[in-house]
Amino acid sequence: MSIDSLKSQLPDFAKDVRLNLGAIANDDSLGEQTKYGLLLACAIATRNADVAAAFDREATSHLKPEARDAARSAAAIMAMNNVYYRFVHLASNASYRTLPAKLRMSVIGAPGVPKTDFELWCLAVSAINGCGACIDSHEKVLIEAGVTEEAIQTAVRFAAIVQSAAVAIEAARLPVLA
């Protein structure tokens, strides 16, 4: 399954999602590895098997195995970090902010792809998962590394579109009630 086959699965009520997926396919503003790693990490973060499979298939012809693994790592590590740091951020008890996380996350330091790619993927996954603390942390690293606000906004826009495809597919599977 590819982006085109995913688009064909979308029902008419999701026409805008279909059009937005087409726009992603034609947008080369991030560069090939950055774009396809981002899309794969975000697709995995949606937790929708059809969306993950479509973007994994699409990524296969655009990414080296190390980059595919790094995208998978970004989705996996952010699944852990987003839960933990969202809790720390939202908890009324400020003492949680002073306790060590005790979470292994060495992949962030050595992801196997350029640091800016991995950070952008982590930021986009954090947007899907709704962790403001992680969004702020990754955005700061990206800005300090010279990544533009436009590139960051594009990454989050792509994440939003990928997430909307997953929701549309799930909505289409709901039983029709008379």
CB 151 within 8 A of CB 35: no
According to DSSP, residue 1 is labeled -
Is 122 assigned a catalytic role? no
Query: Of 44, 134, 135, 156, which residue is the catalytic one?
Result: 134
Token pair, residue 159, equals 């994440």
According to DSSP, residue 161 is labeled H
Query: Of 10, 127, 131, 135, which residue is the catalytic one?
Result: 131
Token pair, residue 34, equals 């950055």
Token pair, residue 26, equals 């034609």
Burial class (CB in 10 A: 0-12, 13-18, 19+), 28: exposed
Burial class (CB in 10 A: 0-12, 13-18, 19+), 115: middle
Dihedral pair phi/psi, residue 157, rounded to 5°: -65, -45
User: Residue 161, Cα to own-chain centre: how many angstroms?
Assistant: 10
Which residues are tagged catalytic?
131, 134
